[in-house]
A and B are shown apart, each in its own frame.
Chain A
């Protein structure tokens, strides 16, 4: 295997990446020394207490935030060297709240196509692919239920045919059955399109079910990264054990 091939087998690579926020005169490190690889085609589930920096980490990957330290490489190329619009088409990000653009479901579905001036063959097919009826297309997107919005948000990112999909707590606000349906939809997308998925979830059962690898983030540090099975059954770090037992609520007691 050539070096080039090896390089691109890693979809996302963090190299001592760090991020700080400046609040007035105070500087707060929210991510420190993050090093890890997300293999192409894998599902990595990212867990951690609230405020540990999970969303921030995702935003570094599509340059919605700029790393202050270290590097983040997408398919071998540092995010700041990418053409940013191409990068974001390549590494899609779906937000926790699935914010809708004012307008119809159809407008939301067509958003990426409109932005990049490409024609979408069949919005009907796409909406059915994510498990919604095509009758929903002319409806106002704002009136949809939480689960329906998440489906539309997923469909919206699919238009770009990204090779990487980052999901930020997509199912947190949903009831268990709706959450399970979205989870199955994501698994289907993963199977059909061979996407690399970086999946933030606070549902540990979900993280265990869907992950190939699982990472634990606490207080801005990557505490443990392992194959999902061993992460849950043979955690190496004391902190991971405590987290799995539900003892790490906030980030403060670390």
Chain B
């Protein structure tokens, strides 16, 4: 595909911008920014990936993965939940997820240990882990605020912090996993997943593309469970001080 044909796709965006200004949605500026950013980011990534794949060095692969984790963690933490010292807990969670997934995928020979596989798979795994983590934190934040009284009842009966948040943590973990489970249930029926679509367009055998997609589905289910459980158990002790009092600031 030439850059010229690619730029023809911009006509679509132009249409949306016209609509936005016609209907006075006030989104024109954001749309332009989105177009420019996505174009620049993706083109840069394209060149970077070409370089990393051709260099075939583990060093650059690791740098890429660390960068992805850093950006994902940054994305989660910037939302300012009331959780103290959230940053390192998120980073540890993402590293753990990445390590476990890669050990599993490469160790069992599901994907070959090459940058061309490791980087896209890591990207998808870290990305879905990031979404799960945000869902979990969001839910936990809301639940703690609305169920403070319940937590204090358990504490006042002499329960430990762990006992006091157990139910709430369980509900939040469940809630954060439900979207992944639901989307796995309907995958392929409503919408073809992006990666599979991409492979098919690029000329891959659809069955082969489906196999890769299934790896993604299975690992995102595992990732969802792991992310919620790891992050949840890292985070709850930070909600209490040394006197076992709920010390949670609302934002």
User: 10 other contacts beyond A64-B156, A88-B155, with CB at 8 A cut-off?
Assistant: A85-B158, A86-B158, A88-B158, A92-B156, A99-B153, A112-B158, A115-B154, A115-B163, A116-B158, A156-B157
**B51 CB to nearest chain A CB (Å):** 49
Measured between alpha carbons, how far is A64 from B152 in the docked complex, in Å? 8
**B155 CB to nearest chain A CB (Å):** 7
Indicate whether A50 reaches chain B with its CB closer than 8 angstroms. Answer: no
Indicate whether A140 reaches chain B with its CB closer than 8 angstroms. Answer: no
B152-183 near A? 1/0 per residue, CB < 8 Å: 11111111100100010000000000000000
Indicate whether A219 reaches chain B with its CB closer than 8 angstroms. Answer: no
| Contacts of A50-65 to chain B: CB distance below 8 A | 62-65
**A35 CB to nearest chain B CB (Å):** 22
Measured between alpha carbons, how far is A84 from B41 in the docked complex, in Å? 53
Indicate whether B42 reaches chain A with its CB closer than 8 angstroms. Answer: no
Measured between alpha carbons, how far is A112 from B157 in the docked complex, in Å? 6
A88-132 near B? 1/0 per residue, CB < 8 Å: 110011010101011000000001100110000000000000000
Chain B residues positioned under 8 Å from A115 (CB to CB): 154, 157-160, 163
Task: Select from chain B the residue with minimum beta-carbon distance to A80.
Answer: B243
Q: Are B149 and A84 in contact (CB under 8 A)?
A: no
**B189 CB to nearest chain A CB (Å):** 34
Measured between alpha carbons, how far is A156 from B157 in the docked complex, in Å? 8
Q: Given the interface contacts A64-B156, A92-B156, A101-B153, does A85 sit within 8 Å of B244 by beta carbon? A: yes
Indicate whether A33 reaches chain B with its CB closer than 8 angstroms. Answer: no
Indicate whether A157 reaches chain B with its CB closer than 8 angstroms. Answer: yes
Indicate whether A66 reaches chain B with its CB closer than 8 angstroms. Answer: yes
Q: Given the interface contacts A99-B150, A101-B167, A115-B163, does A84 sit within 8 Å of B243 by beta carbon? A: yes
Indicate whether B50 reaches chain A with its CB closer than 8 angstroms. Answer: no
Q: Are A66 and B154 in contact (CB under 8 A)?
A: no
Measured between alpha carbons, how far is A250 from B251 in the docked complex, in Å? 28
| Contacts of A148-173 to chain B: CB distance below 8 A | 156-157, 160
Indicate whether B245 reaches chain A with its CB closer than 8 angstroms. Answer: yes
Chain A residues positioned under 8 Å from B160 (CB to CB): 85, 115
Out of A63, A92, A97, A102, name the residue touching B157 (CB < 8 Å): A92
Q: Are B245 and A66 in contact (CB under 8 A)?
A: yes
B13-30 near A? 1/0 per residue, CB < 8 Å: 000000000000000000
Chain B residues positioned under 8 Å from A111 (CB to CB): 153-154, 157
Q: Are A99 and B159 in contact (CB under 8 A)?
A: no
Interface residues of chain B: helix, strand, loop or mixed (majority): helix
Q: Are B153 and A160 in contact (CB under 8 A)?
A: no
**A150 CB to nearest chain B CB (Å):** 13
Q: Are B149 and A64 in contact (CB under 8 A)?
A: no
Measured between alpha carbons, how far is A157 from B150 in the docked complex, in Å? 14
Instruction: From B149, B154, B157, B160, name the one whose CB has the most chain A CB atoms within 10 angstroms.
Output: B157
Chain B residues positioned under 8 Å from A160 (CB to CB): 157-158
Instruction: Please report B residues at the A interface, Cβ cutoff 8 Å.
Output: 149-150, 152-160, 163, 167, 243-245
Chain B residues positioned under 8 Å from A97 (CB to CB): 149
Measured between alpha carbons, how far is A164 from B167 in the docked complex, in Å? 28
Chain A residues positioned under 8 Å from B158 (CB to CB): 85-89, 112, 115-116, 160
Task: Select from chain B the residue with minimum beta-carbon distance to A113.
Answer: B157
Out of B150, B154, B156, name the residue touching A62 (CB < 8 Å): B156
Chain A residues positioned under 8 Å from B243 (CB to CB): 63, 66, 80, 84
Measured between alpha carbons, how far is A66 from B242 in the docked complex, in Å? 10
**B78 CB to nearest chain A CB (Å):** 22
Chain A residues positioned under 8 Å from B167 (CB to CB): 101-102
| Across the A-B interface, the 6 shortest Cβ-Cβ residue pairs | A99-B149, A89-B158, A88-B158, A115-B159, A85-B158, A93-B156
**A82 CB to nearest chain B CB (Å):** 10
Measured between alpha carbons, how far is A185 from B134 in the docked complex, in Å? 47
Out of A80, A88, A101, A116, name the residue touching B156 (CB < 8 Å): A88
Measured between alpha carbons, how far is A165 from B93 in the docked complex, in Å? 43
Measured between alpha carbons, how far is A64 from B167 in the docked complex, in Å? 20
Q: Are B157 and A89 in contact (CB under 8 A)?
A: yes
Measured between alpha carbons, how far is A116 from B158 in the docked complex, in Å? 8
Chain B residues positioned under 8 Å from A101 (CB to CB): 150, 153-154, 167
Chain B residues positioned under 8 Å from A89 (CB to CB): 157-158
Measured between alpha carbons, how far is A116 from B155 in the docked complex, in Å? 12
Measured between alpha carbons, how far is A66 from B136 in the docked complex, in Å? 30
Out of B153, B159, B163, B245, name the residue touching A95 (CB < 8 Å): B153
Measured between alpha carbons, how far is A64 from B243 in the docked complex, in Å? 8
